[in-house]
Amino acid sequence: MRGLPRAERPQLKKLVRLGTLNVVTLSRRSRKMADMIKRRRIEVLRLQETRWKGTKAKQFGERVKLYYSGEDT
């Protein structure tokens, strides 16, 4: 992990694992994405270029919920 050495960050109570992913389109990759999030223990994932329109939330697996907002072009 990058950042401060463990000895210099004793005030932290919990680390949050962040990720970013450029998917171009997500329609067929949602199960793979959910598996990757679980495997890498990612808590917040920022997706780019999903090509989804509107504002909604979708559930993928037990622990993965995707909130998205796309432009209606």
Phi and psi dihedrals of 7, rounded to 5? -65, -25
Q: What is the pLDDT of residue 16?
A: 87
Q: Are 38 and 61 in contact (CB under 8 A)?
A: yes
pTM of this prediction exceeds 0.75: no
What residue segments make up the domains of the chain, in order of their start? Answer: 17-70
> Which pLDDT tens digit goes with each residue over 24-49?
777 777 778 888 888 998 888 888 87
